[in-house]
Structure 1
Amino acid sequence: MTGTRGRWPKIDKDRGIEDVTLLILERLGEQGVNVMIRMDAERLRDNAPPWTFAASGGPLEHGLRADGKTVQQCMSAALTRLREAGLPVPF
Structure 2
Amino acid sequence: MTEGTGRRPEVDLASGVEDVTLSILEWLGEQGVRAMIRVDAERMRDGQPAWTFAASGGPLDGGMRADGASVAECMGRALLRMREAGLAVPF
TM-score, normalised by the number of residues in structure 2: 0.82
Amino acid in the other structure paired with 1:76: G
Q: In structure 2, what is the equivalent of residue 40 of structure 1?
A: 40
Q: In structure 1, what is the equivalent of residue 55 of structure 2?
A: 55
Q: CA deviation at 1:15?
A: 7.0
Rounded Cα–Cα distance in structure 2 between residues aligned with 1:66 and 1:76: 9
Q: State the aligned residue count.
A: 78
Rounded Cα–Cα distance in structure 2 between residues aligned with 1:33 and 1:71: 20
Identity of aligned residues (%): 69
Rounded Cα–Cα distance in structure 1 between residues aligned with 2:75 and 2:15: 14
The one-character-per-residue Cα deviations of 1:34-68 (angstroms, maximum 9, x if unpaired) are 00000100000111100000000111111000000
Q: Relative contact order, CA 8 A, sep 6+: which one is greater?
A: 2
Amino acid in the other structure paired with 1:64: M
Q: In structure 1, what is the equivalent of residue 74 of structure 2?
A: 74
Rounded Cα–Cα distance in structure 2 between residues aligned with 1:87 and 1:52: 19
Rounded Cα–Cα distance in structure 2 between residues aligned with 1:15 and 1:84: 18
